[in-house]
Amino acid sequence: MTGIPDMRSIIVNQRSQQSQQLQQTQQSLVLHIKQCFDSLPRQVRLAASFVLDHPHEVAVMSMREQARLAGIPPSTMTRLAKFLGLEGYDDIREVFKNNLRSRGNEYSQRAHGLVELNQKIGETALALDVANNAIAHIQALCSADTLAAIVRAVKILSSARHIYCLGLRSSFPVAFQFSHVSEYFARNITLIDGAGESGMMKIMHQVGPKDALFVCCIAPYSRRAVSIAGHLAKAGAKLIAITDSASSPIARMATETILVGKKNASFFDTLVPAFLVSEILVALMAATSKVDVKTSVSETEKNLWSMGEWWGAEEAEPPRPRIPRK
C-alpha cells in the first residue's frame, strides 16, 4: 500500500517527538484509516470504526477489551493493523497512548495562551469570556438526557444504605460539598478523604450491593480515585459518576454517568458545572427524602451554632484593615 513505509517510520520515532508532533501523528493515522476504510473487509471495518470512534479506549484498554466492545474477535484488531502496514495492533495503541501522554503539559500551553488572549482583549473581556463559557456549560446541563440521568442518579442515592463520596485532587471540592450539604439531613454519608486515609477502612470491609458511591473525576483522571472506585464497584456498590467523558475510566464502571463540560478560557478546567450537578443532586435528595428534612436541618444548624462554628452577631467586630497613610 502507498504511504505505509512513512507510517512505520512515524511510529518508530514517535517517543522522541514533541506534543504537537504526537498530535499530528494520531491525526495522520486517523486519516490513513479513513482513506483505507472503504477497501477494508467488512469485519475489519468494524475494528476501524472502533478506533475512529473511541480514541480514548484505544489508548487505555487492552486489545481484548476493545475487541469485546466492538463485538469482534481480537484477531480482527490485528488484521486491521496488518492492512495498515503495521506489525501489530500495539503499534496503533502506541500512537494513541503517546498522544494521551503528551497532554501532560496541556495546562502550561493553555497558560501561555491565556496570557496572549489577555494581551489581545484585556481583563474585562477575558473575565466576560470565562463567565460566558461557564453559562454555556450550565445550559448544556439542561438537556433532556442529562436531566434524566440526574433523576435516575437521585433514585439510586436516595435508596442506598450508605453513600460514599469520592473526589481527589481538583475534584475533591465537589465531593466535599456534596458530602457537607447532604449531612445536614442524611446520616448515611461518608467522605473518603485522602488526609489520614479517612474513610478508607470502611470501604475496605463494609461496602456492598446496597451502597452507593458518589464520585467526581475530571481529566486528568486521578489514578487513586479510579482505583478506589474500582474497588467499590467490585464490591457491588452502585457508582454515580460526574465526569467529563463517556469514555473516562470512571464512566466505564459507573451505574449512572452525568457528563459535564470543563473547558474555559483559563489554563485550568472549570468545576462550575460539576458543582452545580452535585448541588442539584443534594436538592432533589432532600426534596424527595423520606425523613423529616426540616427537622434534621434545623437540628444540624442548632448544633453548629452551639458549637461556635459560625460567627454570630454577638461576637466582637472583626479587626478592621489598616489604611496606609498617604
Q: Model confidence over 163-200: pLDDT tens digits?
A: 999 999 889 999 999 999 999 898 999 898 755 555 56
CA–CA separation, 67 and 61 (whole Å): 10
Q: What's 239's DSSP letter? A: E
**pLDDT bracket for residue 241 (50, 70, 90):** very high
In whole angstroms, give the CA distance from residue 92 to residue 283.
46
Report helix, strand or coil for 189.
strand
Cβ contacts of residue 170 below 8 Å, gap of 6+? 218, 268, 269, 271
Give, as one character, the DSSP assignment of residue 261. -
Write out the three cell numbers for 15.
517517543
pLDDT above 50 (res 1): no
Helix extents (H) in 195-292:
200-205, 223-234, 272-287
* Contact assessment for residue 268 and residue 219, using Cβ atoms and an 8 Å cutoff: no
Neighbours of 310 (CB within 10 A): 9
Q: Is 111:244 a contact under the CB 8 Å cutoff?
A: no
263/133 Cα distance (integer angstroms): 8
For 87-141, how does the pLDDT look when each residue is reduced to its tens digit (9 = 90+)?
A: 899 999 888 888 766 655 555 555 555 566 656 666 777 777 777 778 888 888 8
Give the Cα separation of 79 and 39 in Å (integer): 13
Q: How is residue 193 annotated by DSSP?
A: B
- The CA distance from 221 to 59, in Å, is 14
Proportion of the chain above pLDDT 90, given as a percent: 34
Please report how the helices 19-36 and 42-53 are oriented relative to each other, as an axis angle in degrees rounded to 10. Answer: 150
